[in-house]
Amino acid sequence: MKQYEAKFKFPLFLRTLTIILAGLAFAWAIYYIFFALSASNRWFQKLAPFIVILLSARVLYKNLFTTNSILFFEKFLQLNYVLRRSNKVFYDKIKKLEFRLKPRKVIVLTYLEEREQKQLKIPRGITDIIAAINLIVKKAPQVELDEFLSSVVTRKYDSQEV
């Protein structure tokens, strides 16, 4: 028997492949700096490994510290990460859902925790993200939606469904 009612997660193959490739690129750049660089190299050859380090570090950070899965329980939802502590958000504490385009496309979940507003970001790469948003709205009918999400979400639910 499952502990949770529904689970939406980032595709495992894609996340694993991305982490492995970014790790290999990072390792190559470090190796290149210590063992292949010399004073006679061109300026681009000296600069390239540092650019690779910056880009691969960003990709690693993004994949290791952003939402990996969303689990729906009876009274709360839980956002899980690869290398970060999970967050529990009770449905009655959820205040707002909004879609942000910049700096990257994410869904921002605003909720109250100990009289303080907090925000969690949900990447749109989660599988079946529209169903996950609909389930949040179903479990937390008081949630305020921005213009875009209100056009995407269906607020009509059968009373027998959970």
Tell me: pLDDT of 1 over 80. Answer: no
Q: Where are the alpha helices (DSSP H) in 3-128?
A: 12-35, 43-65
Query: Would you place residue 2 in the very low, low, confident or very high pLDDT band (cuts 50, 70, 90)?
Result: low
CA 56, 57, 61, 64 dihedral sign is positive
Contacts of 132 (CB under 8 A, 6+ apart): 6, 8, 70, 122, 126
Stronger pLDDT, 154 or 44, i.e. the higher one: 44
pLDDT value at position 41?
A: 87
The alpha carbon of residue 33 and the mean position of all alpha carbons in its chain are separated, in whole angstroms, by: 32
pLDDT bucket at 155, cuts 50 / 70 / 90: low
Domain-wise residue ranges, the chain: 6-65, 86-152
Report the pLDDT value the prediction gives residue 40, as an integer from 0 to 100.
Answer: 86
What pTM was computed for the model? 0.81
3-state SS, residue 79: strand
In the numeric block, which tokens belong to residue 41?
């190299």
Average pLDDT of the chain, as a whole number: 90
Q: What are phi and psi of 151, to 5 degrees?
A: -80, -20
